[in-house]
Structure 1
Amino acid sequence: MCNYGGGLGKSLKPFVEYNEPGKIMIIETPQSKSAQLSACWGPIESARAKVRGAEGVIVSGNVRQVDQFQDAGLPVLSRGIAALGPREYMRLGSVNETLAIGGLKVDPDDILLADDDGVVVVRQQELSQVIESCEYGVKHDEVVLQAIAEGSTMKEAWRKAYDLLGPPVEYARPFRR
């Protein structure tokens, strides 16, 4: 995890070397208008991160030259794409510290799950609750989809899922500030 734009005054290049194999790299970029015109990640950083064993990269700002790295087997999720590379105001600020991305607090030991739909952050101590809730959700959706395929209305399908599975396993805490 790194804050990209703070006080260490180094480029992002050394950050890739801090990565431990099997980890997801998270980069918080400045949110100023000028910073949002530039990208801080591209194919060179992706190539080195892949060699270092990264499982993926999440960037709160922009990336560039996506076509050159998207098939490399390293998932990279970003807020956007920009043609310009990093500017002088984008420098490594800190490493392995808590970040705030999109108003969400992300700690170095958090578990991250990410795909094209977005990113989910789970605290270690909440993992079993989240797994239980997700397993219920998958079973629920399977029952509802099957009931709909058999001709049930939405209301009937949801009732069938409730009758078979019981009430939902509640776990909802979408924001940590």
Structure 2
Amino acid sequence: MHTVEPLEERVDRDIVSEFEGIPSSIVSDVTGNVGFAMDSGIKPIYEGAEMAGSAVTVKAAPGDNLIIHKAITMAKPGDVLVIDANGYLETGHLGELMCASCKAQGLAGIVIDGAIRDRRDIEEMEFPVYARGVHPQGPLKQDPGSINVTVSCGDVSIKPGDIVVGDDEGVTAVPADSAERVLEDSKEKLTAESDLRERAEAGEYLFEISGYNELYEEMDVVGPEDSVQ
């Protein structure tokens, strides 16, 4: 069954914009490190890419991009297209022209569990794209798909309106209904890590600051005392 629905509810744009510049690793930490960070196969197609936006989700037939074209017409400024192409890598599902259109419409980026093409041109226009691979072959336009349904991208379940945060390390998702809490927790963790960095640079061991030495002592370790940093 194929479903095409508008994205009726988005997290407030002011909240979404505050995720810009927050590392995906920090977001992963405060969401529990399980189930929200896309797998390592989903990579930025160029260094320095960063994005944060509300997910317009797309379920595309592998090797076909007709539904992706339709999704672009439905997305709003600040949105990110999150495309489930079933990890298919033998076709570039989108390229320079589609990304130029997305950039002109104010979209924040694209994440696709599948392949893209025209990597160099997309890098030159500085439009954030995260993909599983790159392939020169062009796509078909003959199969229907779905828009704004729950999809799987990078082995993470993404619902329409969830926030996706991307940088050089990958992409992490934030459930829409947890956005404000995750944002606040992320800010607090950034502050805490800044303090830890200062203490580490002053010569203290993270092993001791964070109490890992106590955890280590509780383990059944046989042998001379280790020097762990």
TM-score grouping bracket, smaller chain normalisation: 0.7 to 0.9
Residues 135 and 9 of structure 1, relative CA distance in 2, 3 Å threshold? closer
Unaligned runs of 5+ in 1: 160-177
RMSD between aligned alpha carbons? 2.3
2:11 corresponds to: none
Corresponding letter in the other structure for 1:23? D
Matched-pair identity in %: 21
How many residues are paired up? Answer: 154
Residues 13 and 148 of structure 1, relative CA distance in 2, 3 Å threshold? same
1:20 corresponds to: 76
Q: Is the 8 A contact 1:143 1:157 kept in 2?
A: no
* Residue 2 (1) aligns with residue 54 (2): no
Q: Is the 8 A contact 1:54 1:74 kept in 2?
A: no
Unaligned runs of 5+ in 2: 1-56, 212-229
* Residue 78 (1) aligns with residue 134 (2): no
Instruction: Tell me the alpha carbon deviations over residues 110-163 of structure 1, each in whole angstroms, 9 at most, x when there is no partner.
Output: 11111121112112221232123212321221112111111112223435xxxx
Alignment of 1:86-101 (within 5 A): 86-87=139-140, 91-101=143-153
Specify which structure has the bigger relative contact order, considering alpha-carbon pairs within 8 angstroms and separated by 6 or more residues. Answer: 2
SS of residue paired to 1:134: helix
Corresponding letter in the other structure for 1:139? T
Q: Is the 8 A contact 1:12 1:92 kept in 2?
A: no
SS of residue paired to 1:109: coil
Q: Distance in 2 between matches of 1:139 and 1:50?
A: 33
Q: Is the 8 A contact 2:66 2:141 kept in 1?
A: no
* Residue 49 (1) aligns with residue 102 (2): yes
Instruction: Tell me the alpha carbon deviations over residues 51-87 of structure 1, each in whole angstroms, 9 at most, x when there is no partner.
Output: 1221111111111111011131321111111122224
SS of residue paired to 2:125: coil
Corresponding letter in the other structure for 1:110? D
SS of residue paired to 2:186: helix
What is the TM-score when the length of structure 2 is the normalising length? 0.60
* Residue 150 (1) aligns with residue 202 (2): yes
What is the TM-score when the length of structure 1 is the normalising length? 0.76
Residues 37 and 23 of structure 1, relative CA distance in 2, 3 Å threshold? same
2:190 corresponds to: 138
